[in-house]
Amino acid sequence: MAMTTNDRSAKLIRSFVRCLRQFRFAQRTTYNTTTTTIFPQPEQTTSNVHNPGDRVYDFEDTKHLFSSVKTYKLIRSTANLSMASVEPVVDLGMWLLTSRLMEVGLFRELVLGVVKHTVYEHFVAGADTGEVGRTVKKLWESGLRGMMDYGLEHALDNESCDRNAQQVFKTVESTYFLPPSSVSFVVVKITAICPISLLMRVSDLLRWEYKSPSSFRLPWKLKTLPIFAECSTFYHTLERPSPLTTTEEHDLELAHKRLTIICDKALESNVRVVIDAEDTSIQPGIDYFTYSAAVKYNQGKKPLISGTIQAYLKDAGQRLFEAKKAADKMGLPIGFKLVRGAYMSSERKLANSLGVESPIHNSISDTHHCFNECASYMLDEVSSGPGGLILATHNLESGKMAARKARDLGIGKDSDKLEFASLYGMADAMSFGLRNAGFSVSKYLPFGPVLEIMPYLLRRAEENKGLLSSSYLDRHLMIKELKRRVNACGWLGLTEGESPLKTQASSIVEVKM
């Protein structure tokens, strides 16, 4: 008797699961414990056994956990995460993408084709606003939201800044055509709308003003919130900087106008803006843009503009506290995205080259402690007052701590004060677990053409080697769910689904359970 479509499909899933099991035992993964925490096994504490209601994540029921994920997506995600967890593979890919071989037309097209159908499709939400919009709708249908981020990198001149600002404007505009509340934030990078050289100059001047407030005034400075703390890094500015030239002041005004146009559109479109953080050499300038925009646009209890605090910096907690208290005195709602940080290697190398203490915490445990303390402080603050908090983390313990405290404080999905977030293509088990626990959860959605998004992919690969290798939990649970679906269908009951992999395999089907 001829093999049926369902038979072939089930055999494909079964074969894939068997190959993945063999691959997991064969691979040798190096975990970088200085940059990430390895995801632990599902919680099995005594308190959870006797009090299931206290549990934040439920990873036992994979059927419920991945109920919104089609089988072909589980297969593709497991394969991509398994490949990305092998550091030699990542290293080889990074070498190829930055080598002179990419100047050879045929080789370049071949490599870009492989990238597009593997890591690009897994970690990038689309090539344009139309494609990322479809991704947002799929997330919304699964109970998640999107943080839209056009993958723009550092701009060098006003011409590129104008183009970038227009792309961000279009991104904000596109949210109007998506389901209400399906987009939690649009991400803005100040480095894309203000020349890097000018951001460095502004940061130097702000640092020197803080060090010499009585003798150094900045005539161009707008009303803002505290940018520094006493323990902040100042070694970037060893000498008194010269004032901004007339041209630089004009360029600074243009950068402010670009941000104003974006914020005006966000206000009109009823979508919030979060401004990303960068390295310490330019972060003061970024905070200046963020806080001056917050002073102008944040009103009532819901902040339109949120900034980013990197918890791996030793001054993170103090800077957060100073900015929040100053905002409270002004009656200003302020929002923060809390992350661990992404420039550890470059920050430490620079500090070492200058013979000064690194601005990064000495241990990963100190970074975890800082992150959790900042999260706890902000949860207390927003539970009884204005403001907002985005917890961008892939760390299960931090998520669990924050979720439990939010429950105790009565901060739920409807409060609009707390948003959990993680990178698209990563920590899906955690995202679905928090969603199932009743919290608002977003995925960070970088998008753009393959060539334009390449710097983002390279940076993610370099920064997150340890994080990618710690994707064990997602891979483990996805394989478990794939096996469950095969066993549950008993080789029967599979129905045809809309799978983009149909052309690559004779038939991939959606398992309806």
Q: How far apart are CA 130 and CA 72, in angstroms?
A: 22
Q: How far apart are CA 357 and CA 353, in angstroms?
A: 10
pLDDT for 85 equals 73
Identify which of 457, 480, 471, 465 has the alpha carbon closest to the alpha carbon of residue 81: 471
Tokens of 284: 């003061």
**What would the pLDDT profile of 327-383 be if each residue is shown by its tens digit?**
999 999 999 999 999 888 889 999 999 999 999 999 999 999 999 999 999 999 999
36-50, 107-121, 276-290: least confidently modelled range: 36-50
Q: How far apart are CA 492 and CA 386, in angstroms?
A: 54
Tell the burial category of 51 from Cβ atoms under 10 Å away from its Cβ (0-12, 13-18, 19+): exposed
pLDDT for 91 equals 77
Q: Helices marked H in 385-471 — which ranges? A: 396-409, 428-436, 450-463, 465-469
Q: Does pLDDT of 298 surpass 60?
A: yes
Q: How far apart are CA 5 and CA 502, in angstroms?
A: 12
Average pLDDT over residues 438-462: 84
297 Cβ contact partners less than 8 Å away, ≥ 6 residues apart? 263, 267, 304, 305
Q: Bigger pLDDT: 406 or 497?
A: 406
| Three-class DSSP category at 464 | coil
pLDDT for 280 equals 96
pLDDT for 97 equals 77
Q: Does pLDDT of 137 surpass 70?
A: yes
pLDDT for 79 equals 86
Beta strand residue intervals within 109-207, DSSP E:
145-150, 183-188
Q: How far apart are CA 224 and CA 152, in angstroms?
A: 26
Q: Bigger pLDDT: 347 or 462?
A: 347
What's the chain's average pLDDT?
Answer: 84
Cβ atoms 283, 162 nearer than 8 A: no
Entry pTM = 0.83
Confidence of residue 464 (pLDDT cuts 50, 70, 90): low
Tokens of 90: 């990542």
**What would the pLDDT profile of 39-88 be if each residue is shown by its tens digit?**
333 344 333 333 445 588 989 999 999 999 999 889 988 888 887 777 78
Look up tokens 């096994």; give the residue. 41
Beta strand residue intervals within 162-294, DSSP E:
183-188, 272-275
Q: Report the share of the chain in percent with pLDDT over 70.
A: 82
Rg (CA), the chain: 24
> 510 forms bridges with which residues in the sheet?
495
Identify which of 176, 170, 167, 178 has the alpha carbon closest to the alpha carbon of residue 139: 178
95-99, 277-281, 449-453: least confidently modelled range: 95-99
pLDDT for 159 equals 95
Average pLDDT over residues 209-213: 93
Q: How far apart are CA 199 and CA 280, in angstroms?
A: 11
pLDDT for 114 equals 83
**What would the pLDDT profile of 154-202 be if each residue is shown by its tens digit?**
889 999 999 999 999 999 999 999 999 999 999 999 999 999 999 999 9
**What would the pLDDT profile of 313-343 be if each residue is shown by its tens digit?**
999 999 999 999 999 999 999 999 999 998 8
| Three-class DSSP category at 296 | helix
Residue type, 318: Q
What DSSP designation does 157 have?
S
Confidence of residue 7 (pLDDT cuts 50, 70, 90): low
Confidence of residue 116 (pLDDT cuts 50, 70, 90): confident
Q: How far apart are CA 402 and CA 409, in angstroms?
A: 10
Q: Kindly write down the DSSP assignment for every residue of 307-347, as one continuous string.
A: EEEETTBTTHHHHHHHHHHHHHHTT---EEEEE--S-HHHH
pLDDT for 240 equals 95
| Three-class DSSP category at 93 | helix
Average pLDDT over residues 393-419: 92
Longest pairwise C-alpha distance within the chain: 91
**What would the pLDDT profile of 476-489 be if each residue is shown by its tens digit?**
999 999 999 988 87
pLDDT for 36 equals 35
pLDDT for 248 equals 98
